[in-house]
Structure 1
Amino acid sequence: MLTFIIIALTSFVSYRAFSNQSLVNKLIFYPPAVKRGEWYRLLSYGVLHADYTHLIFNMLTLFFFGTYIERFLKTSLGETQGGIWYIALYITALLVSILPTYAKQMHNHYYRGLGASGAVSAVVFAFILINPMSFMGIMFIPIMLPAFLFGVIYVVLSIYLENKQAGNVNHSAHIAGGIYGMLFIVVLFALSVDANILQHFIEQIKVSSWEDLIHIGY
């Protein structure tokens, strides 16, 4: 339910902003404006997207992984508490994932940033932490990899592309969001139910066989 609310709110604001530049200017991540005290931009940028493709890709990813994480947290921690922590994960991931960019671009008057990718990455990597041996892949590519291996490749590729400064994608937000999503779950379960999620992650990988590491086809 909460995932659908996030998707609906993000989609509504993004849709309105597609034809309203004034709204974009008010909400977009703009480092000099943040430095002047407009701190809300460290969160509001997450309800904006560059175009329909950007929006649909992020919201579809959030739908598939967010509904699982929401259900997992509610089942593990209780309906109310789990829901609160799920929202906390998403909102704080928006903030944390953009901080490296803010530190780097603080004085750049030409930089603009938008999109929920950092928070979505946090949710995806939370899923990877909980289900490292679930198969994941990329649309239209008929090769599926265990989630943990997919995550490693994704991070390495993101670091490479960030260093090359390829395209208009904020790869550092993806990396920071992914790492934060995993840390959030590890700390949350250690403090709330005294569960060692990281040990569970390692044990799932250790008991797998080499045959489990690749799957051709869907």
Structure 2
Amino acid sequence: MNIDKTLLFIIIANVLMSLKGFNDRLFFDKYKFQIGAINRGEKIRIFSSAFLHVDYLHLILNMYVLYVFAPQLIFTFGVIQFLIIYVGSLLAGNLFTLIFHKNELYYSAVGASGAVAGVIYAAILLNPNMSLIMFPLPIPLPGYVFGVGYLLYSIYGMKKQIGNIGHSAHLGGAIGGYGLVLLLNPSIFLHSTTTVLLLGAPIVLLLLFGDKLKN
């Protein structure tokens, strides 16, 4: 499969920024997501942190998932609208994290996971019956089942602070991808109504009762 130039550019940017961060701790600390620094005015971190990664496995996993799912969006929407979904999901993930962890001044994070989550959810809305595997389950699940399960897991992960994982960025990115793809292609409401409603239900509950997650 020929890789689109825009997608290739995004992957290369992630690789170069991450490699720089692996070898230059000052660079990493300057551009990572950190609540206190962002509150002091370093807004660039909201964007730049999405091109840094913790280690090679983190980088490779995110770029592989992006490589798998992005071409469908590029083919369907074109490059400009794909970029809107990618960057919009990136910002949604980090802004959601900023709001959720606003009182944790030392909270920090890196990674393209929010943007990638948005791409995955946009792809699920386009093809609800695609087969996806949710670790540790050994069987493939329909895309819409995976989508609902992952949203619920992310909400639970935020509540319980499970692992060294940015659940809030994943969740915010997924919500961004969900909302943007529906804005860009409202006809999805007609041919994937059930999936739209199933994925939308946890999002609506989160928006209504999200403050309870901190209690």
Give the structure-2-normalised TM-score.
0.83
Partner of 1:86: 82
Measure, in 2, the Cα distance between the counterparts of 1:71 and 1:4. Answer: 15
Corresponding residue SS for 2:141: strand
How many angstroms does 1:104 deviate by? 3.0
Q: Does 1:146 align with 2:142?
A: yes
Identity of paired residues, percent? 35
Q: Does 1:118 align with 2:109?
A: no
Q: Does 1:163 align with 2:159?
A: yes
Partner of 1:200: 191
Give the structure-1-normalised TM-score.
0.82
Q: Which amino acid aligns with 2:150?
A: Y
Displaced runs of 4+ in structure 1, greater than 3 A? 138-142
Q: Which amino acid aligns with 1:165?
A: Q
Measure, in 1, the Cα distance between the counterparts of 2:120 and 2:171. Answer: 11
Structure 1 residues 147-180: Cα deviation after superposition (integer angstroms, max 9, x where no partner): 0011111111111121111111011111111121
Measure, in 2, the Cα distance between the counterparts of 1:137 and 1:199. Answer: 26
- Please give the residue correspondences for 1:44-193 in structure 2 after superposition, counting only pairs within 5 Å: 44-74=48-78, 83-138=79-134, 142-190=138-186
Closer, same or farther in 2 for the Cα pair 1:140/1:5, shift >3 Å?
A: farther
How many angstroms does 1:84 deviate by? 1.4
Measure, in 1, the Cα distance between the counterparts of 2:63 and 2:117. Answer: 11
How many angstroms does 1:33 deviate by? 1.4
Partner of 1:27: 31
Measure, in 2, the Cα distance between the counterparts of 1:165 and 1:108. Answer: 13
Q: Which ranges of structure 1 fall in alignment gaps of 5 or more residues?
A: 75-82, 191-195, 206-218
Aligned residue pairs total 192
Q: Which amino acid aligns with 1:199?
A: L
The 8 Å contact of residues 91 and 173 in structure 2, kept in 1 or not, is answered as: no
How many angstroms does 1:203 deviate by? 6.5
| Larger radius of gyration between Structure 1 and Structure 2 | 1
Measure, in 2, the Cα distance between the counterparts of 1:68 and 1:152. Answer: 21
Q: Which amino acid aligns with 1:24?
A: F
Measure, in 2, the Cα distance between the counterparts of 1:55 and 1:47. Answer: 9
Measure, in 1, the Cα distance between the counterparts of 2:139 and 2:131. Answer: 9
Corresponding residue SS for 1:136: strand
How many angstroms does 1:69 deviate by? 1.1
Measure, in 1, the Cα distance between the counterparts of 2:145 and 2:134. Answer: 13
Out of 9, 12, 33, which is 1:5 matched to? 9
Structure 1 residues 119-147: Cα deviation after superposition (integer angstroms, max 9, x where no partner): 00000000000100111114785411110
Closer, same or farther in 2 for the Cα pair 1:4/1:121, shift >3 Å?
A: same
